[in-house]
Amino acid sequence: MGGKYLASPPAALQLQKYWELISNGSVLSYVVLAILIVFSIYSWTVIFSKWSAFSAARKSDARFLRAFRKASGLEAVMVASEQFRPSPLVAVFDSGYEEVSRQVKSRGSLGSREAITRSLQIGTNQQLSRLERNLGWLATTASVSPFIGLFGTVLGIIRAFQNLNGAGSSSLASVGPGIADALVATAAGLFAAIPAAMAYNHFGHSLKEIGTQMDDFSLEFLNLIERSFGD
């Protein structure tokens, strides 16, 4: 009974075996693993950052949209918008409101609704660009990491067969550890690539939803202009 409690857990044994494989690697395999670790760490940093940013954007947009629909006019929306920054919809509203203000101050009325539409579109594009920032890194990690891992595996297999030739033995026991060490690079590449690919697709879908919501909001803004200023 005492021997059972002193034995190492299976998970610990597996971890020890993986560490032995890595510790017997070459300098090139270490370089490949280091590159993949950097890719993975930065990707997870982007994932957590974007998760927080998209969640905050959705919540603030929903609150601002409710206030916008209840407001009686542009001035009321402008006052209410201060408490919802930095909502993407507030930024779009600011773009349209500034153009309306310029036209009213210079002409006393609205001169060009097309200019307001363009201002709203510019605001939308700016917010989409802000939310999209660094998503390209996830795409790069998802597409490049498997090939970096494969490169490390090929180098490891070449080294394993070179060692096999030098040892003068052709048994599986001789070449097995070297090949297993080489395959660690492939596993590391997939470990970096899979979460990045899933996150990129998820955030891309969320970005489309937010973009559609901003386009719809632009139409609501133009409707409010029509009601406020008439023909």
Residue 191 lies in a domain: yes
Higher pLDDT, 40 or 25: 40
Give the dihedral of Cα atoms 153, 157, 158, 163; nearest 10 deg: 140
User: Does 95 reside within a domain?
Assistant: yes
- For residue 104, pLDDT over 70 is answered with yes
**Domain count across the chain:** 1
- Please indicate whether residue 70 or residue 20 has the higher confidence score (pLDDT): 70
57 domain residue, yes or no:
yes
Higher-confidence residue of 87 and 156: namely: 87
Q: Which residue has the higher pLDDT, 83 or 4?
A: 83
Number of alpha helices (DSSP H) and beta strands (DSSP E) in the chain:
8, 0
Percent of the chain with pLDDT over 70: 79
Residue 219 in domain: yes
Res 6: pLDDT: 43
Q: Could you tell me if residue 14 is inside a domain?
A: no
Average pLDDT over residues 212-216: 94
Full residue range of the structural domain in which residue 141 is found: 27-229
Whether pTM exceeds 0.85: no
Buried b / exposed e across 19-52, counting CB within 10 Å, b at 16+?
Answer: eebeeebbeebeebbebbeebbebbbebbeebee
| Residue 15 in domain | no
Q: Is residue 34 part of a domain?
A: yes
